[in-house]
Structure 1
């Protein structure tokens, strides 16, 4: 444990900063945090660790914005997300690590391409979020976070600021809890993962709280450009690595 303290300290700083980002924009924190955790702890350990921090981050954002969240939309999302998150979580324990890293690299770069080229989706009906949840649950369980790909659907539904951040966080929370159950069944929740996840929780909660205080005070365009640059760099590193 002592030899991991520098890595844990660095991970705490990253968790705080990226939880703050998520609280401000509703996406970006988790998908950028995964490359950091992977570099520090390895991919198989990084994904369940990230999930533990995401539970804390999304629970705090849900509570901070609970007056504005849409319960029915969250329920439709969970209907698809929970079973597919469990399936993906069970697959992670047996997925080949090299192929998974390359898939993650492609995914991170695809996120940027998708955000740049996607057509603006029409306003989806509530039941459509079951399909969005299913795709999100499977992808998140294997790749850590797919928030940037699901965000356009919540925005197209007409949610803004607190309603968007709270509803997206509540929907993601159902998925992450299901993932934890699956990781536990697949023996991925080791004592070290649980300990590190608990140690990173205070930094995550603090970042979400600070982010809530600064919502709307930074340029959305600047934030998105920084997130996208980070995603491309991380994606290339995963593709070039072994």
Structure 2
């Protein structure tokens, strides 16, 4: 698997892993949304999603004690629903042509950050039905695009809860969602275990980026961060669309 790609592709993946992990450390989300569209330029979409899942599990396990201690109880309800619905999303991805899958992944990434770039709203109504809908949608997006974040982020960021509680809840969900994604891929026979070796190669960049992002958390103005991430994500989405239609 690793030998199939040149030095330029590996270097691009390392930079993407570092940058997306920095965003994760800074905000508690955004790693898969940024990383999967870029990885999908060099890898088949299924491989890109599963590689991002490996990296998410690795970084989540490195800080699992903090996540378990700080996460809100609602995170476990969402995790249970993600476990049930992720296989359906991965199955849809496996029967979709690569070009169409790349377009869908790019559009999911763009839609997620359109929501983040909009002005903040007041606390959302978080009834059991809302929590259930977030869990189902997050599972489908985990399987199809390796991105559990689009439904989860507004659920926690839009509420009046401590920032660290929101971050820990989101990170715990993303770690468990990625674990379910890997298990589903193995059960369906689409998981290439060589991706684990590639993930190990990229993991030091993820660790460093996440550490630096966590240190910088709270020091960067929110508007500046949103603008920078929007530009990076937009470029990745345009590149994915170009590859799909080229």
In structure 1, the partner of 2:134 is 132
Structure-2 change in CA distance of 1:202 and 1:130 (3 Å):
farther
User: What is the DSSP-based 3-state SS (H/G/I as helix, E as strand, rest coil) of the residue aligned with 2:96?
Assistant: coil
Does 1:172 pair with 2:174?
Answer: yes
- Deviates further, 187-196 or 173-182: 187-196
Which ranges of structure 2 fall in alignment gaps of 5 or more residues?
A: none
In structure 2, the partner of 1:206 is 208
- What is the total number of aligned residue pairs between the two structures? 241
In structure 1, the partner of 2:143 is 141
In structure 2, the partner of 1:81 is 82
Shift of residue 2 of structure 1? 4.2
In structure 2, the partner of 1:99 is 100
Between the aligned partners of 2:11 and 2:231, the Cα distance in structure 1 is 24
User: What is the DSSP-based 3-state SS (H/G/I as helix, E as strand, rest coil) of the residue aligned with 2:124?
Assistant: coil
Shift of residue 127 of structure 1? 5.9
Structure-2 change in CA distance of 1:21 and 1:61 (3 Å):
farther
User: What is the DSSP-based 3-state SS (H/G/I as helix, E as strand, rest coil) of the residue aligned with 2:41?
Assistant: helix
In structure 2, the partner of 1:152 is 154
Does 1:110 pair with 2:111?
Answer: yes
Between the aligned partners of 1:181 and 1:38, the Cα distance in structure 2 is 20
Between the aligned partners of 1:57 and 1:188, the Cα distance in structure 2 is 23
User: What is the DSSP-based 3-state SS (H/G/I as helix, E as strand, rest coil) of the residue aligned with 1:40?
Assistant: coil
User: Normalising by the residue count of structure 2, what TM-score does the alignment of the two structures yield?
Assistant: 0.86
Between the aligned partners of 2:128 and 2:164, the Cα distance in structure 1 is 19
Shift of residue 197 of structure 1? 1.8
Structure-2 change in CA distance of 1:14 and 1:106 (3 Å):
closer
In structure 1, the partner of 2:14 is 12
User: What is the DSSP-based 3-state SS (H/G/I as helix, E as strand, rest coil) of the residue aligned with 1:132?
Assistant: helix
Q: CA RMSD in A?
A: 2.4
Q: Is the 8 A contact 2:90 2:185 kept in 1?
A: yes
In structure 1, the partner of 2:238 is 236
User: What is the DSSP-based 3-state SS (H/G/I as helix, E as strand, rest coil) of the residue aligned with 2:70?
Assistant: coil
Between the aligned partners of 2:11 and 2:100, the Cα distance in structure 1 is 29
- Deviates further, 17-26 or 51-60: 51-60
Q: Is the 8 A contact 1:21 1:27 kept in 2?
A: yes
Structure-2 change in CA distance of 1:119 and 1:221 (3 Å):
closer
